[in-house]
């Protein structure tokens, strides 16, 4: 059953193939965000693909992996934003870790369960960013910018969530526990890695 | 004898220690950048990133825009034809205005010379025409990206105008790219002048799509509805009783295509 599939634990080193795939997902997401999604404006706000990534990784691969990917994606985002450097990394780390801790057991959640969680995570990330920017003295961060951003990012999360989840699923390998043999309980055989 | 710590508990502890470490590193980076200790390195990294991403963004843009234009053009053919006819009329009106303005400018120049006024004539300032190639990647700022940068003569602080009025000012430059903070950005404050006496006030951005807030309007020189405000390099001196009014930017900030960057930096 697919519910017992578990992603590789964050403490294990990421296989090279997964690392390459994950880097590709981050770069493609960045390019799509800059050249396409930034132009999709509703009341001055746009969907945020880069805030969905750490949430999706956290949900599918746990808090450790979610925080690490959130940190890296955040640093990349900080390179294209004029906000304080490290702010997006902080938001990404917290988002990835929080999403990972919400993961039901060690099983990957189903798509129908994961998409609303990804959208909710993106909304939480937007609120956190708004609060931090308000603390750093950006005027009207919570009153003028946050309300439309919250709506657009959440709706964008629901629309783009399945795509992001599929991309992360493709990038990160899954460790399938060995099928329980008769009388063995499935505990002795090592796991199998699939993508 | 102490019981050995379960493997899972150790793993969980290690995970949260790593998360804590990343949070601390991020917080240190934010603090250092906020205190200005990383500005040089961060600006250089941001410039290099912009330069590296520029060709990729353009290539994607070249592929995606014609598709978007094709569908937009097919769906809006009727309104585009009407818009075209209106623009032709607008152009003829503008040509007539240019002829009239020529005479007025000559008179203004003579007056300015006679009175020794430090007057900046926008028409004489060299400009760099740039295309708006992108909008802000953050939902907490109102900026646009131009396809011209440092190598084209664009520098931080330069004002940006469209055919009708002020759009914003340059806040970041890369070799072939510049970021413009729009006047609707909540961090933007612009000195404005109005009326025949040249009363001063300050217009501040209130976020994308929202009207500008004009503060420090002297009660002795009220602004009338529909009055045109001009930007000024002179700062408003808040004195006497004042009022606050709303103003709408003349420039259409929602659909910027090409803009002019004025190669002029306002006095500090």
Average pLDDT, integer, range A165-182: 69
B134: β partners: B145
pLDDT of residue A194: 45
Examine residue A7 and state whether it is found in any structural domain, yes or no.
no
Question: How many angstroms separate the CA atoms of B88 and B81, rounded?
Answer: 11
> For B173-215, how does the pLDDT look when each residue is reduced to its tens digit (9 = 90+)?
988 899 999 999 999 988 888 877 777 888 899 988 888 898 8
pLDDT of residue A56: 95
pLDDT of residue A53: 96
Question: How buried is B121 (Cβ within 10 angstroms: 0-12 exposed, 13-18 middle, 19+ buried)?
Answer: exposed
- Which has the closest alpha carbon to B49: A85, A40, A71, A138? A85
Contact A145 B26 (CB under 8 A): no
Q: Report CA-CA distances (Å) from B64 to A33, B68, B125.
A: 13, 6, 36
The values of phi and psi at residue A131, to 5°, are -65, -45
Number of domains in chain A: 1
CA torsion sign, A104 to A106 to A110 to A111?
Answer: positive
Examine residue A178 and state whether it is found in any structural domain, yes or no.
no
pLDDT of residue B40: 87
Examine residue A189 and state whether it is found in any structural domain, yes or no.
no
Q: How far is B4 from chain A (nearest CA, A)?
A: 20
Residues of A in contact with B32 (CB under 8 A): 86
Question: How buried is B268 (Cβ within 10 angstroms: 0-12 exposed, 13-18 middle, 19+ buried)?
Answer: exposed
pLDDT at A189 over 60: no
Instruction: Determine which of B11, B24, B26 to mutate to test the interface with A (most A C-beta atoms within 10 Å).
Output: B26
**Does residue B36 contact residue A84 with C-beta atoms inside 8 Å?**
no
> For A26-80, how does the pLDDT look when each residue is reduced to its tens digit (9 = 90+)?
999 999 998 889 888 888 899 999 999 999 999 999 899 999 999 999 999 999 8
Residue A187: band (very low, low, confident or very high) from pLDDT cuts 50, 70, 90? very low
Q: CA A104, A105, A109: angle at the middle one, nearest 5? A: 45
Question: How many angstroms separate the CA atoms of A53 and B180, rounded?
Answer: 28
Question: How many angstroms separate the CA atoms of A99 and B183, rounded?
Answer: 37
Give the total residue count for chain A.
195
Examine residue A182 and state whether it is found in any structural domain, yes or no.
no
Q: Which residues, in sequence order, are CB contacts of B184 under 8 Å at separation 6+?
A: B142, B205, B206, B207, B208, B209, B210, B212, B249, B253
B36 contact A CB<8A: no
Q: Which of A14-18, A57-61, B76-80 has the highest mean pLDDT?
A: A57-61
Domain with A59, as residue range(s), is 15-172
User: Could you report how far apart the first and last alpha carbons of chain B are, in Å?
Assistant: 73
pLDDT of residue B72: 60
> For B103-126, how does the pLDDT look when each residue is reduced to its tens digit (9 = 90+)?
676 666 666 666 655 555 566 788
Contact B16 A63 (CB under 8 A): yes
Residue B235: band (very low, low, confident or very high) from pLDDT cuts 50, 70, 90? low
- How large is the ipTM? 0.81
User: Could you report how far apart the first and last alpha carbons of chain A are, in Å?
Assistant: 16
Percent of chain B with pLDDT over 70: 80
pLDDT of residue A19: 92
B29 contact A CB<8A: yes
pLDDT of residue A183: 37
What percent helix, strand, coil does chain B show, rounded to 5? 40, 25, 35
> For B126-152, how does the pLDDT look when each residue is reduced to its tens digit (9 = 90+)?
889 898 888 888 999 999 999 999 999
pLDDT of residue B56: 84
Scanning B226-245 for CB atoms below 8 A from A yields none
Q: Which of A95-109, B205-219, B222-236 has the highest mean pLDDT?
A: B205-219
Question: How many angstroms separate the CA atoms of B114 and B208, rounded?
Answer: 42
Q: Report CA-CA distances (Å) from B103 to B98, B126, B228.
A: 9, 21, 21
Examine residue A190 and state whether it is found in any structural domain, yes or no.
no
In chain A, whose CA is at the least distance from the CA of B34?
A84
User: What is the C-alpha R_g of chain A?
Assistant: 18
Per-domain residue ranges of chain B: 8-66, 76-119, 189-248
Q: What secondary structure, in 3-state letters, does A107-168 show? A: CCCCHHHHHHHHHHHHHHHHHHHHHHHHHCCCCCHHHHHHHHHHHHHHHHHHHHHHHHHHHH
Q: Report CA-CA distances (Å) from A25 to A33, A169, B89.
A: 12, 11, 49
Average pLDDT, integer, range B157-185: 89
Question: How many angstroms separate the CA atoms of B161 and A78, rounded?
Answer: 28
B173 contact A CB<8A: no
Instruction: Determine which of A139, A143, A146 to mutate to test the interface with B (most B C-beta atoms within 10 Å).
Output: A139
pLDDT of residue B3: 57
Residue B12: band (very low, low, confident or very high) from pLDDT cuts 50, 70, 90? confident
Instruction: Determine which of A11, A32, A50, A79 to mutate to test the interface with B (most B C-beta atoms within 10 Å).
Output: A79
Mean model confidence pLDDT for chain B: 80
The values of phi and psi at residue A176, to 5°, are -90, 120
Residue B130's SS3 state is strand
Question: How many angstroms separate the CA atoms of B256 and B251, rounded?
Answer: 8
Contact A93 B23 (CB under 8 A): yes
pLDDT of residue B267: 62
pLDDT at B227 over 90: no
pLDDT of residue A57: 94
Read off the CATH number of the domain in which A89 is found: 1.10.1760
Residues of A in contact with B246 (CB under 8 A): none
> For B15-71, how does the pLDDT look when each residue is reduced to its tens digit (9 = 90+)?
889 999 999 999 999 999 988 888 889 989 998 988 888 888 778 777 776 766 676
Q: CA A134, B244, A83: angle at the middle one, nearest 5? A: 20
Q: How far is A78 from chain B (nearest CA, A)?
A: 8
Q: Report CA-CA distances (Å) from B22 to A77, A99, B26.
A: 16, 16, 6
**Does residue A50 contact residue A31 with C-beta atoms inside 8 Å?**
no
Contact A68 B42 (CB under 8 A): no
pLDDT of residue B85: 74
Contact B186 A140 (CB under 8 A): yes
B258: β partners: B131
Average pLDDT, integer, range A9-22: 80
Mean model confidence pLDDT for chain A: 83
């Amino acid at each position: 059953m697919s519910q017992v599939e578990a992603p590789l634990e964050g403490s294990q080193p990421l296989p090279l193939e997964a690392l390459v795939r994950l880097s590709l997902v981050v770069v493609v997401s960045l390019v799509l965000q800059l050249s396409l999604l930034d132009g999709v404006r509703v009341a001055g706000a746009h969907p945020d693909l880069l805030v969905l990534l750490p949430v999706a990784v956290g949900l599918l691969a746990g808090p450790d992996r979610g925080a690490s990917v959130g940190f890296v994606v955040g640093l990349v985002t900080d390179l294209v934003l004029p906000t304080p450097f490290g702010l997006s990394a902080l938001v990404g780390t917290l988002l990835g870790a929080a999403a990972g801790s919400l993961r039901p057991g060690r099983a990957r959640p189903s798509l129908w369960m994961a998409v609303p969680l990804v959208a909710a995570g993106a909304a939480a990330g937007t609120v956190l960013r708004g609060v931090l920017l308000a603390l750093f003295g950006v005027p009207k961060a919570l009153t003028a910018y946050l309300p439309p951003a919250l709506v657009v990012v959440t709706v964008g999360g629901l629309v783009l969530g399945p795509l992001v989840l599929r991309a992360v699923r493709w990038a990160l390998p899954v460790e399938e526990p060995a099928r329980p043999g008769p009388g063995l309980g499935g505990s002795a055989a090592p796991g199998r890695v699939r993508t | 004898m102490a019981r050995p710590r379960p493997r899972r508990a150790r793993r969980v502890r290690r995970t949260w220690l790593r998360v804590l470490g990343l949070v601390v590193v991020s917080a240190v980076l934010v603090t250092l950048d906020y205190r200005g200790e990383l500005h040089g390195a961060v600006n250089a990294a941001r410039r290099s990133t912009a330069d590296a991403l520029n060709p990729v963004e353009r290539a994607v843009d070249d592929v995606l825009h014609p598709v978007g234009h094709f569908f937009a053009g097919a769906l809006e053919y009727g309104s585009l034809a009407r818009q075209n006819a209106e623009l032709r009329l607008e152009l003829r009106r503008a040509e007539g205005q240019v002829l009239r303005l020529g005479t007025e400018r000559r008179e203004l120049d003579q007056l300015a010379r006679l009175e020794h006024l430090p007057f900046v004539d926008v028409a004489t300032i060299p400009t760099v025409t740039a295309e708006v190639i992108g909008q802000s990647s953050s939902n907490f700022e109102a900026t646009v990206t131009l396809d011209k940068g440092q190598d084209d003569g664009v520098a931080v602080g330069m004002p940006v105008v469209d055919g009708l009025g002020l759009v914003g000012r340059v806040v970041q430059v890369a070799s072939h790219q510049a970021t413009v903070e729009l006047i609707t950005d909540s961090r933007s404050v612009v000195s404005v002048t109005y009326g025949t006496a040249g009363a001063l006030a300050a217009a501040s951005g209130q976020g994308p799509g929202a009207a500008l807030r004009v503060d420090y309007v002297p009660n002795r020189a009220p602004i009338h509805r529909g009055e045109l405000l001009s930007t000024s390099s002179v700062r408003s001196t808040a004195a006497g009783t004042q009022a606050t009014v709303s103003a709408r930017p003349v420039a259409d900030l929602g659909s910027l295509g090409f803009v002019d960057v004025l190669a002029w930096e306002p006095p500090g």
